[in-house]
């Protein structure tokens, strides 16, 4: 993986994590928290979209995929915290 690809991956994770934090919680989780949530969301979103036969096209598609996965991840974490 090149440095450029890594930076793009981190920026997409940051954007997706920040947006998911706003959608689910009403605010973000800080820089590192947003990146971690976005990266985990990217894996979850990629798995879910892949299972449904939906594939991202371009950076916007990757952000949407990571955002969807991040929202799913945060919903699961919030549900487990209530137990």
List, for residues 54-68, the tens digit of each pLDDT value.
988 888 999 999 999
What mean pLDDT do residues 29-48 have? 89
Of 25 and 45, which is predicted with more confidence? 45
pLDDT on residue 19: 92
Domain boundaries, the chain: 3-82
Q: Beta-carbon neighbour count of residue 14 at 10 Å?
A: 21
pLDDT on residue 26: 75
Q: What span, in angstroms and rounded, lies between the C-alpha atoms of 81 and 3? A: 36
Which tokens hold the place of 48?
Answer: 């879910």
pLDDT on residue 24: 86
78: left (phi over 0), alpha (psi -120 to 50) or beta: alpha
Q: What is the pTM of this model?
A: 0.88
Which tokens hold the place of 62?
Answer: 């990757």
Task: Give yes or no for a contact between 32 and 44, defined as CB atoms under 8 angstroms apart.
Answer: no
């Amino acid at each position: 993986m090149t440095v450029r690809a890594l930076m793009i991956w981190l920026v997409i994770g940051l954007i997706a994590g920040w947006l998911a934090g706003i959608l689910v919680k009403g605010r973000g989780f800080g820089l590192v928290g947003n990146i971690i949530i976005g990266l985990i969301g990217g894996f979850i979103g990629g798995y879910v979209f892949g299972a449904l036969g939906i594939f991202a096209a371009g950076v916007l598609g990757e952000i949407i995929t990571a955002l969807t996965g991040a929202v799913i991840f945060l919903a699961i974490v919030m549900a487990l915290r209530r137990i």
